[in-house]
Amino acid sequence: MSILQKNKKLAAGIGVAAVAAAAVALGAGTYAAFTDTAEGPGGTLAAGTLSLDVTTNPSGTTTLFSASNIAPGYTSGPRTFIVENTGSIDGVLSGTFTVTGGQQLAEQIQVTGSCDRGIGAFPALPLSQLPAASAGFSGIDVGDQESLTCTFNFEFRNLDAAVNNTAQGQSVVVGSSFTLNQAPTS
């Protein structure tokens, strides 16, 4: 057999193989089995809110009181503030009070008051002791859209003139801070 005949047979064999390979590839590409697709269950997760709003009465102000030129015998009358969880999840409230300024005046002003939500009335105490007393103002459950209302009275007590004279010209600043943390979930 000549080389030319061998090449023709080889070329014919390669051609047959190429056609067979193409047929197999074409057949594999069109082969299909049954399939189906369905949507699985899903859902939506949305975070709630924890929002704290502190106001006094009259509503819309955060100044509990402001008085100048007070003298022994001064009484503030009831001063009310409201701490409200305006969020959508339950919270646990804590608060602190600060008193800065004239120490003698802070000793002579007496604070009385009460809060709802199981806190109740607290005993009369000098204004200077309010920060220490506020340590008990914690762990108060306040659900979503619930509030806590507290009312305070401040009185500049009539003491011995020598004692009252030590407070002349002094001023004190009372501050408060409240924190609402997410209530534990079960």
Structure tokens at 33: 């089995």
pTM recorded for the entire structure: 0.72
Length of the chain, in residues: 186
Q: Is the pLDDT of residue 86 over 80?
A: yes
pLDDT at 65: 77
Domain range 52-64+74-181, CATH architecture? Sandwich (2.60)
Q: Is the pLDDT of residue 182 over 70?
A: yes
Mean pLDDT of 111-115: 92
Q: Is the pLDDT of residue 16 over 70?
A: no
Q: What pLDDT digit, counting tens, does each position of 114-171 carry?
A: 998 888 888 899 999 988 888 778 899 999 999 999 999 999 999 999 999 999 999 9
Q: What pLDDT digit, counting tens, does each position of 54-76 carry?
A: 887 666 666 777 889 999 999 99
b or e along 120-146 (b: 16 or more beta carbons within 10 Å of the residue's beta carbon)?
eebeeeebbebbeebeebeebebebee
Q: What's the CA dihedral at 158, 159, 162, 167 to 10 degrees? A: -60
Whole-number Å distance between alpha carbons of 53 and 176:
13
Q: Are strands 120-126 and 109-115 parallel, antiparallel or unpaired?
A: antiparallel
pLDDT band at 186 (very low <50, low <70, confident <90, very high): confident
Query: Can you list the alpha helix ranges (DSSP code H) found in the chain?
Result: 3-30, 103-108, 130-133, 161-165
Whole-number Å distance between alpha carbons of 15 and 108:
113
pLDDT band at 31 (very low <50, low <70, confident <90, very high): low
Q: Is the pLDDT of residue 29 over 60?
A: no
